[in-house]
């Protein structure tokens, strides 16, 4: 059984009896077949979260009319809703500085499963042009200095708007984006921080970890917010280190983690499996 086109609904609402019923009733009576449904109740805040995905093949309402048709339920249950369609690829920009292992992981994997449309690569280093060319993706070298920072961010913003970018992946981009820029992309910028947050916020976390003498290092993918390294965490991984590991070994071991958490987080985002509430994420399987 191969399903080609699906609709995906993400919901957050105050928990209330009849909520699930209302949604399944809507889908059933419009001739839809539910393929995936996952729900979560945050008991301390009494918030209900749901992701529901159904087959568009037999569905009785056209794509363009679905949003309006959900209006009644939405109001009755005070739902925050987002609606996505599996056929719509998300337009993405990848930002990168010196190291390219995260970029390569994203490019290689997207070549396999084709979940996003990578519209452009932005870097403050010229050297990644070759790999971008190899993958046929437009490359923009935008160097950043203290003096030109505002200007260059404006240039970036124009690019994002021209290309209708819906997701920015910071694949080891070592510049801090301004709150104004970040504010335009709420929960639409994913960053990989090379530590097990909230340990070692800020610069060179491997050096910090090495100096502290930890026995495990980690990596964190999170949405970017105004506060540095404080956004909602999407994915984390850790690996053991010991006194035998030099600082360089921390960096080396960390690369594997960084690649994996960023790939996992990006994929979850592209599959519309993440809901954010109270600076925390619900990440459905």
- Supply the residues annotated as catalytic: 229
Which of residues 5, 80, 127, 280 is near its own copies by CB under 8 A? Answer: 280
Least separation in angstroms between CB 149 and its own copies? 30
Least separation in angstroms between CB 248 and its own copies? 10
Residue 242 interacts with its own copies (CB under 8 A): yes or no:
yes
Inter-residue contact 161 to 188 (CB < 8 Å): no
**Distance set, CA 239 to CA 105, 183, 251, 260, 282 (Å):** 19, 33, 12, 12, 24
Q: Which helix (H) or strand (E) holds 155?
A: helix 149-162
Residue with smaller CB distance to its own copies, 93 or 190:
190
User: Two tokens at 30?
Assistant: 């419009």
Residue with smaller CB distance to its own copies, 153 or 245:
245
Which of residues 110, 225, 266, 281 is near its own copies by CB under 8 A? Answer: 281
Burial class (CB in 10 A: 0-12, 13-18, 19+), 204: middle
Least separation in angstroms between CB 157 and its own copies? 29
What is the rounded CA–CA span in Å between residue 218 and residue 259? 12
Residue with smaller CB distance to its own copies, 112 or 145:
112
Residue 157 interacts with its own copies (CB under 8 A): yes or no:
no
Q: Are strands 189-193 and 167-170 parallel, antiparallel or unpaired?
A: parallel
Q: Binding to its own copies (CB under 8 A): which residues in 43-102?
A: 43-44, 46, 58, 101
Residue with smaller CB distance to its own copies, 1 or 203:
1
Residue 246 interacts with its own copies (CB under 8 A): yes or no:
yes
Residue with tokens 């820029």: 181
What is the rounded CA–CA span in Å between residue 208 and residue 195? 9
Which of residues 66, 102, 132, 197 is near its own copies by CB under 8 A? Answer: 197
Residue 35 interacts with its own copies (CB under 8 A): yes or no:
yes
DSSP string, 14-48: E--TTHHHHHHHHHHHTT--EEEEEEEEETTTTEE
Residue 279 interacts with its own copies (CB under 8 A): yes or no:
yes
Which of residues 64, 145, 147, 213 is near its own copies by CB under 8 A? Answer: 213
> b or e along 158-167 (b: 16 or more beta carbons within 10 Å of the residue's beta carbon)?
ebbeeeebbb
Task: Give the interface segment with its own copies, choosing from 67-75, 83-91, 179-187, 211-219 (CB under 8 A).
Answer: 211-219
* Count of residues of this chain found to bind its own copies when the rule CB under 8 A is applied: 60
Q: Are strands 139-141 and 167-170 parallel, antiparallel or unpaired?
A: unpaired
Contacts with its own copies, residue ranges (CB under 8 A): 1, 17-18, 20-21, 24-25, 27-28, 31-44, 46, 58, 101, 104, 108, 134, 196-200, 212-216, 218, 232-238, 242-244, 246, 256, 260, 278-283, 285
């Amino acid at each position: 059984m191969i399903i080609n086109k699906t609709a995906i609904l993400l919901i957050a609402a105050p928990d209330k009896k009849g909520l699930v019923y209302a949604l399944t009733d809507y889908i059933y009576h419009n001739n839809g077949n539910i393929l995936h449904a996952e729900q979560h109740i945050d008991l301390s805040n009494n918030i209900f979260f749901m992701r529901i995905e159904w087959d568009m093949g037999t569905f009785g309402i056209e794509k363009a009319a679905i949003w309006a048709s959900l209006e009644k339920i939405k109001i009755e249950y005070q739902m925050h809703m987002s609606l996505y369609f599996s056929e719509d690829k998300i337009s993405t920009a990848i930002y990168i500085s010196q190291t390219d292992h995260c970029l390569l992981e994203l490019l290689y994997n997207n070549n396999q499963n084709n979940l996003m449309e990578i519209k452009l690569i932005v870097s403050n280093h010229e050297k990644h042009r070759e790999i971008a060319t190899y993958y046929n993706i437009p490359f923009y070298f935008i160097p950043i200095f203290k003096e030109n920072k505002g200007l260059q961010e404006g240039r970036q913003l124009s690019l994002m708007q021209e290309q209708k970018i819906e997701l920015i992946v910071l694949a080891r981009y070592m510049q801090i984006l301004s709150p104004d820029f970040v504010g335009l992309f709420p929960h639409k910028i994913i960053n990989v921080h090379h530590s097990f947050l909230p340990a070692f916020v800020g610069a060179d976390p491997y050096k910090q970890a090495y100096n502290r003498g930890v026995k495990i290092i980690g990596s964190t993918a999170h949405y970017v917010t105004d506060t540095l390294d404080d956004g909602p965490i999407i994915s984390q991984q850790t690996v053991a280190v010991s006194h035998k590991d030099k600082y360089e070994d921390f960096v080396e071991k960390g690369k594997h983690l960084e690649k994996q958490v960023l790939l996992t987080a990006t994929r979850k985002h592209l599959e519309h499996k993440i809901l954010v509430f109270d600076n925390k994420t619900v990440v459905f399987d």
